[in-house]
Amino acid sequence: MIVNKVINKASGYGRSTVNRFFSYIGGVSILLSQTLFWSMVPPYRKWNILEQMGKIGVASFPIVFLISFFTGVVLALQSAYQMQRFSAEMYIASLVALSMTRELGPVLTALIIAGRCGAAITAEIGTMKVTEQIDALETLSANPIKYLVVPRLWALLVMLPILTILANFFGIVGGFIIGIWKLDITTAMYMKMTFDPMHVKDVVIGLVKSVSFALVIGMISCFEGFRSEGGAEGVGHATTDSVVRSFIMVIIVDCFITALFYFMAR
Contact 157, 57 (CB under 8 A): no
pLDDT at 13: 58
Residue 26 has a CB neighbour count (10 Å cut-off) of 10
Residue 45 has a CB neighbour count (10 Å cut-off) of 15
Could you list the residue range(s) of the whole structural domain that residue 77 is in?
44-265
- Say how many Å lie between the first and final Cα of the chain, rounded: 52
Q: How far is CA 114 from CA 25, 49, 228, in A?
A: 18, 18, 18
Domain membership flag for residue 27: no
Domain membership flag for residue 136: yes
pLDDT at 2: 60
Distance CA 265, CA 244 (A): 32
Domain membership flag for residue 196: yes
pTM (2 decimals)? 0.89
- Domain total for the chain? 1
> CA-CA-CA-CA torsion for 199, 203, 209, 210, nearest 10 degrees?
180
Torsional sign, CA 83, 85, 88, 89: positive
pLDDT at 49: 87
Domain membership flag for residue 34: no
pLDDT at 156: 94
The candidate with the shortest Cα–Cα distance to 204, out of 107, 106, 78, is 106
The candidate with the shortest Cα–Cα distance to 189, out of 70, 77, 82, 92, is 92
Q: Please list the pLDDT of the chain residue by residue as tens digits (266 residues).
A: 565 555 556 565 556 666 777 787 888 888 889 988 888 888 777 888 899 999 898 899 999 999 999 999 999 888 887 777 777 778 888 889 999 998 899 999 999 999 999 999 999 999 988 888 888 887 877 788 888 899 999 999 999 999 999 999 999 999 999 888 888 788 888 888 888 888 888 888 999 999 999 999 999 999 999 888 878 888 889 999 999 999 999 999 999 998 888 776 55
Domain membership flag for residue 143: yes
